[in-house]
Amino acid sequence: MEYDYLYEMYKIPKKKINQINNETELISVVFNDFNVQNAKNFISYSDLSLNEISQIVPVSLSTLQRTFKNKKKLNSALSEVFIELGEIYKIGLQAFDGNKERLNEYLHTENPYFNHKRPLDIMNTHKGRDLVKDELLRIEYSGFS
């Protein structure tokens, strides 16, 4: 199913995932059900550091740490970024034949397509995340992995 990555990356319950039939319903999950533990699960899954995540999400490292310590639910802006990161990982894993290490190497390597910045360095905006997704799709469909 299209949304199975939500379980693998975030440990969102399969019962909830099975209720998602389109992007509108995914938005509902992001706004209503995504929580701190889901975000922590993604960080663990991705092997990105909390510091790297804090460079991507719209809050400082200290705010992110406080949020993880004191709250059960993330605000919708943070939830949305974490879901977008999952989409990047989903596309990236397809592009790199399921090899997460190769995907992480790609994310940490300067790339001429991004003006010699690392993909991680431009993922702090929605547009940057879209550019990374687009490049990963090009890799997947052109066979450059």
For residue 19, give its domain range. 5-142
What pTM does this model have?
A: 0.92
CB neighbours (10 Å) of residue 21?
11
Ranges of residues in the chain whose predicted pLDDT is under 50: 145
The full DSSP string for 51-92 is HHHHHHSSS-HHHHHHHHHH-SB--HHHHHHHHHHHHHHHHH
Name the packing angle between helices 126-142 and 76-95 (round to 10°). 20
The pLDDT value given to residue 144: 57
Output the six-digit token pair for 74: 């993330």
What is the per-residue pLDDT for 143?
A: 58
Tell me the β-bridge partners of 35: 73
How many domains, in total, are found in the chain?
Answer: 1
